[in-house]
Amino acid sequence: MLNVLFIGDIVGRPGRQAIRELLPELKSRHAIDLVIANGENAAGGIGLTPDVADDLLFYGVDVLTSGNHIWKKRGIEAYLDETPQVLRPANYPGSAPGRGVYVADTARGRVAVINLLGRVFMPPIECPFQVFDRLFEQLDPDVKTCIVDFHAEATSEKQAFGWYADGKASLVAGTHTHVQTADERILPNGAGYLTDVGMTGAMSSVIGMNREIAIRRLITGIPEQFKVAKKNIQLQGVTAQIEIATGKCKKISRIVSCLR
């Protein structure tokens, strides 16, 4: 069995601290073969920088995925071109820097990781369903395990994609909302599924940000710069056991680990 840990959206310095301090023990406890984490908000709460990405890879993350905030920090474009294990959504135009799929070599075999961006309540972008089909068909036949980060706002779109990819994807992990859902399951054709993996950062917050600022913005309608919250740090994610010969998920479990 291939043991995968998929970590929910890392938010700012508190999220990076959680990765640094909690990931080694989680990898040991669950005998993890591959760690995937969404890092699009890991630098200052929005975006990703090369230095922050390098730190997360050094801490033990094998593949970093992202979403609509990947372009927020200057200097990330060249880094994406140079670092294949750091992904941007595959359904951005082909002229965009970087790539949306990475094939990782693990002790159990090769694993494809695909990063896709939803379209409901999101900027206009190519259809993730069609892009997934195209990328899946291009995988080497010996790559049986395919993990998808589906970065989307609408739960309906995430659920629809899970059903659509069942039988091809081994795990569909939803990201973007920063709120872990409780609907983990294995779909009929063997895909593990969770609508949202959650968030790695400060839980005494509004999706990782200072709650007082978030409340003021909602009450007054006046723009105010968000600041990353700092208290009650957790690492949220999901583990999946995948049969490497078939690519079918056999077990899926949500995890929450608290930083003390």
Give the catalytic positions in this structure: 69
Q: How far apart are CA 135 and CA 126, in angstroms?
A: 13
Write phi, then psi, for 258 (nearest 5 degrees).
Answer: -100, 140
Where do we find the tokens 């892009």?
A: 131
Q: Say which residues have a Cβ less than 8 Å from residue 86's Cβ, sequence separation at least 6.
A: 39, 48, 53, 57, 63, 64, 66, 79, 80, 98
Alpha carbon of residue 142 to chain centroid: 24
CB atoms within 10 A of CB 206: 16
Alpha carbon of residue 156 to chain centroid: 18
